[in-house]
Amino acid sequence: MKQSTQNVSRLLHRRQMRVSDTVQSVPPSGIRRFFDLANELEDVISLGVGEPDFVTPWHIRESCIHALEQGHTSYTSNQGLPELREEIAGTFRRDHSLHYDPNEEILITTGVSEGIDLAMRAILNRGDEVIISEPCYVSYVPTVIFAGGVPVTVATSIENDFKVTAERIEEKITEKTRAIMINYPNNPTGATMGKKDLEEIADVATEYDLIVISDEIYDKLTYDGKHTCFSSLNGMITNTVLFNGFSKSHAMTGLRVGYALGSSDIIGAMTKIHQYSMLCAPSTSQIAAIDALRNGRAEMERMVREYDRRRHLIINGFNKIGLDCFWGKGAFYAFPSIAGTGMTADEFAERLMLEKRVAVVPGNVFGDSGAGFLRCSYAASRDDIKEALARIGEFVESTDDGIA
Amino acid sequence: MDLAQNILEIIENDPKIDISEIASLTGSSDEEIRDCVRQLEGDGTICKYKTIIDWDKVDNGFVYAIIEITVSLERETGYNVVADRISKFPEVRSVRLISGDHDISLTVRGKSMKQVAFFVAEKIATLPQVQSTATHFVLKTYKEDGVILHETEHAERLPIVA
């Protein structure tokens, strides 16, 4: 009897040991719980999705079908199809006057998320620190941890339009700091940063010799003003690892294709990891991406114009309800404050889901500085946005305190 | 984007939308939208607010035909005289000058194939400038003015994703 108890406890201990300490140290995504909740309910209107509600434009889907008919289903080179890399190089030459060598400075990845993982593993030694502006996309912090690094978050706030400042970054720099990670236009706030704001970050990066990881997946979704590509700032082309892709601009989330641009040493190191793990991005998706770049501008611009209308609709809508909403100029997220209701964002989002069947994501999921806000995607139809706003309005009225 | 263009794109897809909703979509005031729409109506940019109907779903619907016409041109008057004359028939739904083998393309609507055929024979083919006509009856309409009539696509999405 005693022996078997010992066996059980040894077994339990071994079970725990099977998952690495590193992975155990990362909590599951805060979004998971809401996802499960939403799945159990019917008639849910979702403003909880970080993907376009448009289906991939037909010309792109048609190019996938053609590729399949032609039998293009084999591996491509590890770095990705040469035509796609050349097309990307051409785009950056035309749009930003930036010259990237398609053979050494461009890597096609299975979406930006894979690319960021590769970059972290390529540049970080154990214990190196990465400064991450926050609130931020849920993958950044875990990705740094999985790569053996230490994430150091810098809070941004509504007082500064959710822009990260050079000052706040500088405060966090230590001798361990290797990189700064930014994402503008931003998920979840919708914030953008102008050229001047970014130049200050570039100056800090130069002064302390830091790499800048710039996730610009939402660059095409900039509504007021013009997006500034971080690599285009003075001297930054060699210090920046730039990420972009097709998921948001061309409604291609499930096709999983993105790219990384940077100097050959870092792109080379990332390619090494990529070739031993992913091998190559899906071939059909790479062919779709070529078509998106060659023929996709008109459809993309049509979608962006429609997002801009919905942006006005939803932000005006929140402000009318009495939930102060920041005028984000990019991405497709509204980020209203619910501080006046006296509820936490978690409470608000959960009750809203259960009582009114509207799915939104509490801002604290994206970091502590997102507490008190909701991330509401306006990549939803106008009718859904109107109905969701009506339900949220009813919900706010129904709460005991109303808005303080 | 220019406000007028923005309004036109919205209205083209949804003529029933009200002024205040256009205002909230474009970040303008009701008054600005009303003025702009009035101007676009006044200068003929907005010609008419129309509806796309699938007449196949209606008993006693309509028959459509595309008619291609070759015309002989008179000196100085060009295509306009004959095109204007054809346009006046209410049976004729559209008149376009086209490139290629023929000169003018019409869409004609009637209650029956016979009615359309006789209309073309009696009223169009007999015009002095018309040299020849070719009538193509429409058997089924799949897409009309940008709208797919029998849409079967329903893409599913997860309700919550980061």
Q: Which fold has domain A72-295?
A: Aspartate Aminotransferase; domain 2 (3.40.640)
Taking the domains of chain A in order of start, what are their residue ranges?
16-56+299-395, 72-295
Q: Smallest Cβ distance to B160: which of A35, A313, A382?
A: A35
CATH code, domain carrying B9: 1.10.10
Report the CATH number at residue B75.
3.30.70.920
Helix (H, G, I), strand (E, B) or coil at A250: coil
DSSP B56: G
The residues, any chain, with a CB within 8 Å of residue A310's CB and separated by 6 or more, are A332, A378, A379, A380, A382, A385, B25
> Does an H or E element contain A358, and which?
strand A358-359
Task: Compute the distance between CA of residue B9 and CA of residue A55 in angstroms, rounded to an integer.
Answer: 20
Of A51, A139, A361, the CB nearest to B157: A51
- Among A38, A310, A313, the residue with its CB nearest the CB of B159 is A38
- Cβ-nearest to B25 among A46, A49, A313: A313
Residue of chain A whose alpha carbon sits nearest to that of B153: A55
- Chosen for mutation from B28, B33, B160, B161 (greatest number of chain A CBs closer than 10 Å) is B160
Whether residues B33 and B78 fall in one domain: no
Q: Measured in whole angstroms, how far is the alpha carbon of residue B96 from the centre of its chain?
A: 11
- B160 min Cα distance to partner chain A (Å): 5
Supply the mean pLDDT for chain B.
92
Give a yes or no: residue B130 inside a domain: yes
For B43-101, write each residue's pLDDT tens digit: 999 999 999 998 888 888 899 999 999 998 876 678 999 999 999 999 999 999 999 99
Residues of A in contact with B24 (CB under 8 A): 312-313, 316-317
Q: Could you tell me if B77 and B125 lie in one domain? A: yes
Omega before B128 within 30 of 0, i.e. cis: no
For the domain made up of A16-56+299-395, the CATH class stated in words is: alpha beta
Asked if residue B96 and residue B27 are part of one domain, the reply reads no
Q: Is B157 exposed, middle or buried (0-12, 13-18, 19+ CB in 10 A)?
A: middle
Which structural domain, as residue segments, surrounds residue B37?
Answer: 3-42
B19 and B71 part of one domain:
no
* Across A386-391, average pLDDT: 97
Domain match, B19 and B59 both = no
Looking at the structure, do residues B29 and B63 belong to the same domain, yes or no? Answer: no
Same-domain status, B127 and B83: yes
The CA-atom distances, in angstroms, between B65 and each of A70, B51, B131, B135, B147 are 38, 19, 19, 7, 19
How many residues in total does chain A contain? Answer: 404
Asked if residue B150 belongs to a domain, the reply is: no
Instruction: Give residue A364's pLDDT band: very low, low, confident or very high (50, 70, 90).
Output: very high
* pLDDT tens per residue across span A202-235: 999 999 999 999 999 999 999 989 999 999 999 9
State the first-to-last Cα distance of chain A, in angstroms, to the nearest integer. Answer: 63
| pLDDT reported for residue A402 | 55
Residue A243: partners with Cβ closer than 8 Å, 6 or more residues away: A112, A115, A116, A119, A213, A214, A215, A216, A217, A258, A259, A260, A261
pLDDT at residue B162, as a whole number: 60
This model of the complex carries an ipTM of: 0.82
Tokens of A387: 């109905």
> Measured in Å, how far apart are chain B's first and last C-alpha atoms?
30
B27 touches chain A (CB under 8 A): yes
Closest residue in chain A to residue B21, using alpha carbons only: A313
CB atoms within 10 A of CB A161: 17
Which chain B residue is nearest to residue A41, measuring alpha carbons? B159
Specify if B35 maps to a domain: yes
Let me know whether B62 and B35 are in one domain: no
